[in-house]
Amino acid sequence: MRPAPPDRTPTQPPHYDESRTPVDPWPIPVQQPQPVQPQPRSRRAAPRSPFRPIRTVFNALIGGAVLVGVAAGVGFWRSPDRFLEGVRIMLTPAPREPQVDVRSVVVQQLRGASELTTAIFAMEAVVPTQSDRTLAGYVIGSTNLLYIAYGEVRAGVDLAELTPENVQVMGEDAIQVTLPPPKILDSKIDLSKSNVFDYSRGFLGLGPDVAPELQEKAQQEALVKIEEAACSENLLAEANRRAEVTVGQLLATAGFETVTVTTQPPTNSACAAPANSDTVLPGLPVPNPPPEPGP
């Protein structure tokens, strides 16, 4: 018997039935690989140049200058006169708004009144004067003169002495003014109302003939008496009170709603010093009568 020929059928790989694959009761989780994210490349900042802002400003200035030059050239080419006038207006500085010192304005207005006469004192004074003639030390004759003088004394405030420091402006409608102290502004003898009441050279006319000298002396003494009487009657205090009212009314008419006027008391020398006079200058030395010739 011949042996059976060998089976030449190709060998097939074993086939497994996946449906019958045993299931692992404790499966091990398998981590899925995460995709690799590309890391951004850090770019190193270049060092900033300290001259970069200056370069930017310089370039802007150059550009602006070029534009201005082009505009100026076009304007000059189209209208030279108008261009030059515009340049002159641009280069001419605007006038500053004038600053007004209200204090100086008030001082100038008050100084315009100069000497503010606020009180006048008038009176008559009877003044006797006498001059003797002597011989060897003995009086041999006398001349007497009786003078009736009519005089006036003006007292007030000299506004020329007012300074800006005496004026305080508070807001737009309030002002305070401090007036200078009052004083005797003027004193005089009215010659039209004054006269020599009596003149006598004594027995046998032996008194010296010095009528002009005696009359001048009488006028000076009368003026002193009138000034003393004016001071004793508080003429300066009355002048102070009237000056306060007058200056207050003057400033009220200037537009100030609140006006405060402060006065100062008269100085000690206000009545002691001789006053000015239109007729007689008090304080002048009285000329002595000429000496009589000896026997």
CB 151 within 8 A of CB 188: yes
pLDDT of 217 reads 92
Q: Residues 6 or more apart from 270 whose CB is under 8 A from it?
A: 181, 182, 183, 184, 231, 236
pLDDT of 40 reads 57
65 and 195 both lie in a single domain: no
pLDDT of 158 reads 83
Residue 45 domain flag: no
150 and 219 both lie in a single domain: yes
* Residue 287 confidence class, pLDDT cut points 50, 70, 90: very low
Short-list 152, 158, 182, CA closest to 268: 182
For the ranges 30-34, 65-69, 180-184, the lowest mean pLDDT is seen at 30-34
Asked if residue 150 has pLDDT above 90, the reply is yes
154 and 251 both lie in a single domain: yes
For the ranges 39-43, 148-152, 154-158, the lowest mean pLDDT is seen at 39-43
Asked if residue 153 has pLDDT above 70, the reply is yes
Residue 128 lies in domain? 102-262
Asked if residue 286 has pLDDT above 50, the reply is no
159 and 205 both lie in a single domain: yes
85 and 123 both lie in a single domain: no
For the ranges 40-44, 64-68, 74-78, 103-107, the lowest mean pLDDT is seen at 103-107
79 and 167 both lie in a single domain: no
115 and 153 both lie in a single domain: yes
Residue 162 domain flag: yes
Give me the chain's average pLDDT, please: 73
Short-list 131, 288, 287, CA closest to 207: 131
Q: Map residue 32 onto helix, strand or coil.
A: coil
82 and 106 both lie in a single domain: no
Asked if residue 293 has pLDDT above 80, the reply is no
81 and 195 both lie in a single domain: no
At 192-245, the pLDDT tens digits run 899 998 988 888 878 888 888 999 999 999 999 999 999 888 899 998 998 888
Average pLDDT, integer, range 42-59: 64
Dihedral angle sign, alpha carbons of residues 97, 103, 106, 111: negative
At 246-264, the pLDDT tens digits run 888 888 887 888 889 899 9
Q: Which of 44, 67, 91 is the C-terminal boundary of a domain?
A: 91
Number of domains into which the chain is organized: 2
142 and 249 both lie in a single domain: yes
85 and 108 both lie in a single domain: no
Residue 130 domain flag: yes
At 87-123, the pLDDT tens digits run 666 666 655 554 444 445 555 555 555 556 678 889 8
Which is more confident, 79 or 25?
79
81 and 218 both lie in a single domain: no
